[in-house]
Amino acid sequence: MATEIESLLEYALNVGASELIITEGAPSAVRLAGKVCAIPDAPAIEVGGLREILTSMDGESGTVMGSWCGSKWRVRYYRAALGNAAVFRPVLEDCPEFTAIGAPESLNNLLGLSSGLVVFAGPSCSGKTTTATSYVSALCQSKILRVSFLNGAEEIPVKRGPSLVLEDASGDVSQKIDQALRSGTDLIWLGDFDGKTLIPILHAAEAGALVVLNVTAGNAVGVLDALLSSESAENRDLVRNMLASVLKAIVVQRLLPSTQGGSTAAWEILYGTQNVAARIRSGEHFTLPSIIAASAADGMMLMDDCLNSLVQSGYVAAEDASRYVANPARLG
C-alpha cells in the first residue's frame, strides 16, 4: 500500500501539483493551480494505507513531516467518513529570496519595517507561507535582529543570517509572545493565525516588535473579518483600535492557471495608511476596496485590478479570472 501512495506522490510531483489529497476508500486527487482534479485511473487506497506510510498519526488529526520520492512533504491528516484522509504538500528545501518570488516591486517597502503587524494571506496552497517565510528570511539576513519563531512545525527553513534566535520559549503562544517581548525580541514569526491569540499579537506589535503571520482569506477585507471575528463582541472595539494602530500591510495572493503552463499569482496589497486606519477603527473596513483601488500610487493593489491586468496581458484566461473577481465590471 505504501508503494501505491508513493506512486501517487510521484504523479503529483510530475504534474506540478501543490497538493495530493488521499481519502481511504475513495479516489485520490491533486490540486493544480488552485483546482482539485481527479487522478486518472488512480486506485482507491485501502483503509489503513495512510497509517502504514505515515506510521505516526496521533489523535483524530494532526500534521507530520516526511520525505518520499526525493522530496520533503508536509502532511495534514484527519478522520473522514470512510477512513483516514491526508493532504500531502511538497515543501521547498530552500527558502527563495524575497526579491525573486515574482511579487509586485512595491512589496520591497516591507523590508524597511521595524515594528507593527504584517499579514500574508490567501486560500489554501496559494503560496502565502513561502512568501511570508522569504520575507522573514530577508529581514533576518539584512541585519542582526533578536528573533522569535513561534510558527510550530517549520514548513520552509528560515535563513537566519546573523540574527539571534530565541530558542527556549515555553508555554502556550500567548506566554511565548510575552517571553519574547521580555527578551527584547525585534521580530516575531507566528506562522498560521490560530484564531485565539489576537490581542497578545497586537500588544506585541504595539510594544515595538514586528509581528508576521498568515491568515487564510481571499482578500484584505476577508483578512480583517477573520481577525476581528476571532475576538468576543465585548473586545471588538478594542481590537479595531489596536489593529488600526499597528497594521502595516496585508498581502494577499492567489494562484491561477497560466495560459503559458503552470500557474501564476494574482495579488492584493493594502498598506496601513491613515485612511485605512480610520476605516478599520470605525468598523467600515468593508469599504477598503475603494481605497485600495484609488491608491496605486502608494503601492496598493486591488485583486480585481491585478486579475484584469493578467487577463489583458494574456497570462490568465478570462474564464479562470472570472471565478475570483469580486466585481465583474472591473474585469474588462
pLDDT band for position 102 (50/70/90)? confident
Distances (CA, A) of 261 to 2, 16, 33, 285, 322: 31, 10, 10, 36, 19
Q: What is the pLDDT of residue 171?
A: 85
Q: What is the pLDDT of residue 202?
A: 97
| Mean pLDDT of the 291-304 span | 95
| Mean pLDDT of the 162-174 span | 85
Q: What is the pLDDT of residue 226?
A: 96
| Mean pLDDT of the 196-222 span | 95
Q: What is the pLDDT of residue 154?
A: 66
pLDDT band for position 225 (50/70/90)? very high
Q: What is the pLDDT of residue 152?
A: 67
Q: How many residues does the chain have?
A: 332
Instruction: Report whether pLDDT(31) > 90.
Output: no
| Mean pLDDT of the 266-295 span | 96
Which has the minimum average pLDDT: 45-54, 151-160, 183-192? 151-160
Instruction: Report whether pLDDT(82) > 80.
Output: no
Q: What is the pLDDT of residue 216?
A: 94
Q: What is the pLDDT of residue 313?
A: 92
Q: What is the pLDDT of residue 124?
A: 82
Cα 316 off chain centre by: 22
Please indicate, yes or no, whether the overall pTM of this predicted structure exceeds 0.85.
no
Instruction: Report whether pLDDT(18) > 90.
Output: no
Better-scored residue on pLDDT, 43 or 216: 216
Sign of CA dihedral 294, 297, 303, 309: positive
316-325 long-range contacts, CB within 8 A, separation 24+: 316/256, 316/257, 316/258, 316/259, 316/264, 316/266, 317/257, 317/259, 320/256, 320/257, 321/256, 321/266, 324/218, 324/254, 324/256, 324/266
127-149 confidence digits (pLDDT tens) = 899 999 999 999 999 999 999 99
Average pLDDT, the chain: 90
DSSP letter for each residue of 98-162: GGGS---GGGGGGGG--SEEEEEEESTTSSHHHHHHHHHHHHHHHS--EEEE--SS-SS----TT
Residue 150 cell numbers, joined: 513561534
Of all residues in the chain, the percent with pLDDT exceeding 90 is: 60
| Mean pLDDT of the 268-294 span | 96
Other CB atoms within a 10 A radius of the CB of residue 65 amount to 12
Q: What is the pLDDT of residue 249?
A: 98
Look at strands 116-122 and 210-216 and give their pairing: parallel
Instruction: Report whether pLDDT(59) > 80.
Output: no
Q: What is the pLDDT of residue 153?
A: 62
